[in-house]
Amino acid sequence: MRGFFSKFWFGYKEYIIVVLLLVLSLSVLSLNSKPGIKKVKAFAFGGFAVFTSGLSKVVEPFSTAFEVKNLREENARLMLQVNSLREYGIQNEELRRQLALKDTSKYPLISAKVVSKFASASQGNFIINAGEGENIKIGMPVINSQGLLGVVTSVSKDYSIVRTLRNRELKFAVKNQRSRYDGVLEWNGKELTIKNVPKTYDMQVGDRIVTSDFSTKFPPSIPVGVVAGGNRDKTGIFNDIVVNPYADFLRVEHVFVIAFVPSVQKNNLELNLIKNN
């Protein structure tokens, strides 16, 4: 019997090892949401981010030069827009006061720097150099001067993982700022799309897409992107609308975390509604 097993091992050890390791990998894949695994990951990326942040300081001057040039151009454009928006802002403040609406644009911003990026077609994420020490919490939205970047998914003492819009796990409600129609935005591995939008909805190329009031993940009216087109299926009644994000995910260096924690109460109410239906 022992001879049989030893013969079997020496004849097939490569296959036995690969099968064991692949099964182990698949088992770990299913455990990603377990709190224990999350803790191990937070400890590992927190420890390693110390090294990546060191190198990112060396790389920074090269990327910053490009960023500064872009920011100067953007600054000039924004300066022109600010004057006209200031006027609208005053009018808006007055109207909001009259309607007694809650202002969602006044959450504190926590500044942070990207120390590493995972350039993947489907699992886009960053590690930023702000963590529990800066009061960062899981679920907080992350933006830069261009628009929405993602959401904090894991926090260690000094670092946090940000799941970007270019990650299949992140889906959230958005709104067309002009026509006020809502939809759910997601990354399909290639582009950002609002799926299953009825053809009767008014969605035009160039329309601004912002976070929706219905979103439980983000405060409303954060710029997300512009409508770039639609995949028109002549036979169906729905379209998939393609959205070009404002933020340049590959070149982003400095980010802001919005100190907004998603409403647990609102989430629970929605879950109850789903259960009751």
Residue ranges binding another protein (CB under 8 A)? 13-14, 17-18, 21-22, 24-32, 37, 40-41, 44-45, 48-49, 51-52, 55-56, 59, 62-63, 115-127, 153-154, 161, 166-168, 188-190, 240, 250-251
Measured from the CB atom, is 29 or 237 closer to another protein?
29
What minimum distance in Å lies between the beta carbon of 181 and another protein? Answer: 22
What minimum distance in Å lies between the beta carbon of 150 and another protein? Answer: 11
Chain-centroid distance of CA 88 in Å reads 29
What minimum distance in Å lies between the beta carbon of 59 and another protein? Answer: 6
Beta bridge partners of 173: 184
Amino acid at 196: N
Measured from the CB atom, is 124 or 262 closer to another protein?
124
What minimum distance in Å lies between the beta carbon of 269 and another protein? Answer: 27
Q: Is-contact 230 203, C-beta < 8 A?
A: yes
What minimum distance in Å lies between the beta carbon of 214 and another protein? Answer: 22
Measured from the CB atom, is 161 or 194 closer to another protein?
161
Phi and psi (nearest 5°) for 42? -60, -40
Residue 225 burial class via C-beta count within 10 angstroms: exposed 0-12, middle 13-18, buried 19 and up: buried
What minimum distance in Å lies between the beta carbon of 256 and another protein? Answer: 19
Q: Is-contact 147 222, C-beta < 8 A?
A: yes
Measured from the CB atom, is 16 or 95 closer to another protein?
16
Measured from the CB atom, is 49 or 112 closer to another protein?
49
DSSP for 184-232, written as a single string: EEEE-SSSEEEEEEETTS---TT-EEEE-TT-SSS-TT-EEEEEEEEE-
Measured from the CB atom, is 46 or 147 closer to another protein?
46
Q: Say how many Å lie between the first and final Cα of the chain, rounded.
A: 60
175's enclosing H/E stretch is strand 171-176
Q: Is-contact 223 148, C-beta < 8 A?
A: yes
